[in-house]
Amino acid sequence: MSDTASPVGVAVLGLGNVGSEVVRIIESSADDLAARIGAPLVLRGVGVRHVSADRGVPAELLTDDIEALVSRSDVDIVLELMGPVEPARKAILSAIAHGKSVVTANKALLSRSAGELAEAAEAARVDLYFEASVAGAIPVIRPLTQSLAGDTVERVAGIVNGTTNYILSEMDATGADYHSALADASALGYAEADPTADVEGYDAAAKAAILASIAFHTRVTADDVYREGISNITPADFTAARALDCTIKLLAICERITTAAGQQRVSARVYPALVPLSHPLATVNGAFNAVVVEAQAAGRLMFYGQGAGGAPTASAVTGDLVMAARNRVQGGRGPRESKYAQLAIAPIGDISTRYYVSMDVADKPGVLSSVAAEFASHEVSIAEVRQEGVIDDEGKPIGARIVVVTHRAPEASLSKTVAALADLDSVQRVASVLRLEGTDQ
């Protein structure tokens, strides 16, 4: 490092778990970071909503005037770690307009406005990095944008939400119901006070949009992602899953598909699915995340680790900071947005997979044949069927349960089948419909 290298000025927006850890790393690892970058990093200011004395950083660095901070001439890189979509979007656009490179972990913003931010960064010829927006410390964005830049990615699938993975892991391991497992997750700090974004799949859908956009060189927003949550999963579903040598995971799946006419499309979807115990994702438990990438030349790659938390996310943010700072010192730039493919988004009805359907039925002759007839009439092939009696708390028979596992079929056909089953007099209710992923049948 040259003794005359100009310092790289850094502004941090937000001083929560991630922001505080990033500030700590910048200060405690100053010499190492300077050696890696080729110039020292200097923290110029920290933007917060409310300035107070007890924030763990020198009072003179704190400010609630975000606009003034991101426009300062001695700031080169802005780290946006405050969320939510607004005022983060305004702050990032202002920073870019003033010639600052930006590092953000804001998945909600990126899943809706990545194109706008990328265009602004390109016009200003600055960097926009966001490794921390998906899977915390796990390197996923950089391998997709750089390591696999010469390959063709076919599919990205994974567990990208630690809260839901913890809940489902607990239900599987202990037999707890959804509400009990959610209460445990809240007590341990894995679930927010309002867990809706996690348990209903919104968080995973935002991450799926980011992954699909990068993997398939197509702008995909959160609104393009089909989404289901985990709140309807029951212990009975896990019992059935174990009988099939499976477990249940909330998966984010981004996939390149080809229509019968030979047209390529992008599918992005989030839902709970049965996963065979032999699949690598089946062993990812607790609050851990994992992403499996399948590419034509590279084959299958798996990335696994801590997907959330202040320290892991700060690690990814600091990695982006080092890359952006190096570019400032050396005069280079990071990867730009790639959207040349502009593939259409495939509707969920066009997606083919296997299904698990559980229904409560009357315990009388002919029910199974009538159920099978509805599957056949909608051209959904049955791979396996099981019928068992259902008893009440006093041990008296009150009906039967039929579990059907299908071969691969289009989502639209399965939806019509389920609607027809619900209309049968002998079917009391369709209790559960889950996809079966990770098989080739």
For residue 39, which amino acid is it? Answer: A
User: 100, 107, 207, 339: which is the annotated catalytic residue?
Assistant: 207
> What's the whole-number mean pLDDT along residues 294-306?
95
Residue 218 vs residues 221, 261, 344, 400: alpha-carbon distances, Å:
10, 20, 8, 47
For the sheet containing 77-80, what is the strand order?
A: 62-63, 41-47, 8-13, 77-80, 101-104, 128-129
- Residues above pLDDT 70, as percent of the chain: 97
Query: E strand or H helix at 391, and its extent?
Result: strand 382-391
Lowest average pLDDT, out of 144-153, 303-312, 329-338, goes to: 303-312
Residue 90 annotated to the active site:
no
Task: Give the model confidence (pLDDT) of 366-422 as tens digits.
Answer: 999 999 999 999 999 999 998 877 766 666 767 799 999 999 999 999 999 999 999
> What is the chain's alpha carbon radius of gyration, rounded to the nearest angstrom?
25
Listed in sequence order, the residues at least 6 apart from 363 whose beta carbon sits closer than 8 Å to its beta carbon are: 389, 390, 397, 399, 400
Model confidence at 84, in pLDDT bands (50, 70, 90)? confident
Classify residue 337 by its DSSP letter.
Answer: P
pLDDT given for residue 397 in this prediction: 66
Listed in sequence order, the residues at least 6 apart from 180 whose beta carbon sits closer than 8 Å to its beta carbon are: none
Task: Give the model confidence (pLDDT) of 179-227 as tens digits.
Answer: 999 999 999 888 889 999 999 999 999 999 999 999 999 999 999 999 9
Classify residue 348 by its DSSP letter.
Answer: G
pTM (2 d.p.): 0.93
Question: DSSP 3-state assignment of 110?
Answer: helix
φ, ψ of residue 135 in degrees (nearest 5): 65, 30
Model confidence at 307, in pLDDT bands (50, 70, 90)? confident
pLDDT given for residue 56 in this prediction: 80
Instruction: Name beta bridge partners: 301.
Output: 293
What distance in Å separates the CA atoms of residue 401 and residue 341, rounded to the nearest whole number?
47
Quick check: 289 pLDDT over 70?
A: yes
pLDDT given for residue 2 in this prediction: 47
Quick check: 288 pLDDT over 70?
A: yes
> What's the whole-number mean pLDDT along residues 103-124?
96
Query: E strand or H helix at 367, and its extent?
Result: helix 367-377
Q: What angle do CA 54, 52, 99 make, to 5 degrees?
A: 110
Residues in the chain: 441
Question: DSSP 3-state assignment of 241?
Answer: helix
Model confidence at 306, in pLDDT bands (50, 70, 90)? confident
Quick check: 287 pLDDT over 50?
A: yes
Beta strand 299-306 with 264-276 is unpaired
Quick check: 439 pLDDT over 90?
A: no
pLDDT given for residue 392 in this prediction: 62
Cα end-to-end span (Å), the chain:
57
What distance in Å separates the CA atoms of residue 167 and residue 136, rounded to the nearest whole number?
19
> What's the whole-number mean pLDDT along residues 115-124?
97
Say if CB 298 and CB 163 are below 8 A apart: no
Beta strand 352-361 with 264-276 is unpaired
Q: What is the DSSP string of 282-333?
A: GG--TTEEEEEEEETTTEEEEEEEE-SSHHHHHHHHHHHHHHHHHHHHHT--
Task: Give the model confidence (pLDDT) of 18-60 as tens digits.
Answer: 999 999 999 999 999 999 999 999 999 999 998 876 778 888 9
Report the chain's mean pLDDT, rounded to a whole number. Answer: 94
What distance in Å separates the CA atoms of residue 232 and residue 432, rounded to the nearest whole number?
8
What distance in Å separates the CA atoms of residue 205 and residue 270, rounded to the nearest whole number?
6
Say if CB 132 and CB 317 are below 8 A apart: yes
Task: Give the model confidence (pLDDT) of 228-284 as tens digits.
Answer: 999 999 999 999 999 999 999 999 999 999 988 889 999 999 999 999 999 999 999
